[in-house]
């Protein structure tokens, strides 16, 4: 179907932070499949995990116990607030599970009217019908029927509107600690703590969508970890980096939040299959290493410093630098889609974003030398954007 506005590029192989086209051209990849290839391309440990498992068992169905699934769930629970995990194939499916879990929690407690999920402007939670309704982006909803009941959308950062929206039918609040597609807006730690307290005060659940910002992207294993345990959610959605490029997602929850999810209330054909669990286990081992997280913080600091310098030197191109860790947003004073092409002309791959931003989402193991190269290419893209604007003036 013609649903993708594809760039005229095709890649045949990747190695670390490099992608190589079918014509042999090398690109520095600061998209990482939109924060998916968090360990770069063809990471040897992930490749070996996939090969080893592929020779043993691919799929058996969740009718049976899957040891790799139990092992990865135990690891995720040990690293987080969670007691239980449901494995999916994607982030959107993890969001679906989170919505169902939140509503079933209230139903099981004798409050079936509590179905409303409060979300925020600029959010992105996936492309399924429920996920796009949770996000509320009009362009993604258009043509797919009337809006689903049970979803409330509020301006980002409007505390008064949030307090006013909570009522007897509210089930949960869903938010990205760092927005991805919405323009790399980072939720302050104080606001994360405030959301936790607000949910406690009103008996509703807090859902963090860490599909893009989680698993090391911000320099902590999860973005809400910056609150030092004072903003733990009841439910969390993860995916993307969890498989390092292999399709896998997960919905994590406390035992209390998941109390309504009884046998038969949810399921998945492929979710938690042995192949995905083998790769996911290997990826989590790497992503959770303290030395990798420290490296992310170091490289992120370099990017922030250098991009802020570009903002000062190119105020006609770069308007703002935002985000957290290696989820970096650059708000532009020039059209972002044009700028992405300028970057590609410099053999640099970056992602788009809302609020006229571009995003840099490099592999978390990007070296400092590669970061310097990325900044140099980004600066040359700024030169191209400036030259084009002056030529058109």
Residue 289 a catalytic site member? no
40 DSSP assignment: -
Residue 20 a catalytic site member? no
The DSSP string of 253-307 is: E-TTTTTT--TTS---SSTT-HHHHHHHHHHHHHHT-HHHHHHHHHHHHHHHHHH
What Å distances lie between residue 5 and 1, 2, 25, 109, CA to CA? 11, 8, 21, 46
Cβ(215)–Cβ(181) below 8 Å: no
Q: In what order do the strands lie in the sheet with 170-175?
A: 84-88, 249-253, 235-238, 205-209, 170-175, 116-120, 151-154
Distance between CA atoms of residues 203 and 198, nearest Å: 9
Distance between CA atoms of residues 309 and 32, nearest Å: 24
Q: Phi and psi (nearest 5°) for 209?
A: -95, 100
Task: Catalytic residue, from 209, 225, 234, 355: name it.
Answer: 209
Cα–chain center distance at 279: 18
- List, in order, residues 6 or more apart from 62 with CB less than 8 Å away: 267, 268, 269, 271, 272
Q: Which residues pair with 19 in a beta bridge?
A: 14, 27
Task: Catalytic residue, from 104, 240, 324, 331: name it.
Answer: 240
Residue 209 a catalytic site member? yes
- Angle, vertex CA 286, rays to CA 347 and CA 244, nearest 5: 50
Distance between CA atoms of residues 218 and 221, nearest Å: 8
What Å distances lie between residue 268 and 167, 215, 264, 272, 273, CA to CA? 33, 23, 11, 8, 10
Task: Catalytic residue, from 81, 124, 208, 246: name it.
Answer: 124
Q: Which residues are catalytic?
A: 124, 209, 240
């Amino acid at each position: 179907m013609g649903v993708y506005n594809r760039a005229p590029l095709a890649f045949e192989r990747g190695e670390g932070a490099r992608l190589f086209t079918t014509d042999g051209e090398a690109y520095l990849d600061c998209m990482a499949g939109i924060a998916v290839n968090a360990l770069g391309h063809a990471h040897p440990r992930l490749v070996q995990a996939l090969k080893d498992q592929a020779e043993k068992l691919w799929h058996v169905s969740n009718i049976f116990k899957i040891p790799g699934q139990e092992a990865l769930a135990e690891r995720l629970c040990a690293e987080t607030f969670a007691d239980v995990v449901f494995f999916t194939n994607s982030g959107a499916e993890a969001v679906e599970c989170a919505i169902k879990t939140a509503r079933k929690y209230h139903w099981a407690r004798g409050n079936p009217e509590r179905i409303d999920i409060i979300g925020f402007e600029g959010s992105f939670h996936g492309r399924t019908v429920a996920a796009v309704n949770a996000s509320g982006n009009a362009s993604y909803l258009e043509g797919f029927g009337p809006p689903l009941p049970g979803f409330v959308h509020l301006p980002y950062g409007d505390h008064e509107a949030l307090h006013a929206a909570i009522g007897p039918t509210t089930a949960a609040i869903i938010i990205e600690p760092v927005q991805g597609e919405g323009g790399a807006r980072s939720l302050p730690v104080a606001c994360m703590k405030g959301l936790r307290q607000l949910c406690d005060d009103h008996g509703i659940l807090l859902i963090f969508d860490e599909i893009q910002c989680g698993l090391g992207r911000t320099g902590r294993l999860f973005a809400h970890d910056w609150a030092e345990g004072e903003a733990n959610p009841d439910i969390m959605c993860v995916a993307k980096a969890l498989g390092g490029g292999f399709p896998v997602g997960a919905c994590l929850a406390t035992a209390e939040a998941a109390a309504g999810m009884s046998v038969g209330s949810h399921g998945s054909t492929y979710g938690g299959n042995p192949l995905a669990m083998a790769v996911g286990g290997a990826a989590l081992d790497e992503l959770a290493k303290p030395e990798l997280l420290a490296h992310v913080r170091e490289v992120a600091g370099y990017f922030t410093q250098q991009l802020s310098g570009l903002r000062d030197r190119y105020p006609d191109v770069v308007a703002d630098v935002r985000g957290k860790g290696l989820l970096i947003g650059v708000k532009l004073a020039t059209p972002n889609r044009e700028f992405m092409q300028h970057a590609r002309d410099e053999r640099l791959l970056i992602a788009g974003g809302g609020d006229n931003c571009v995003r840099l989402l490099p592999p978390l193991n990007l070296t400092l030398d590669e970061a310097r190269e990325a900044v140099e290419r980004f600066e040359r893209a700024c030169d191209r954007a400036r030259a084009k604007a002056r030529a058109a003036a």
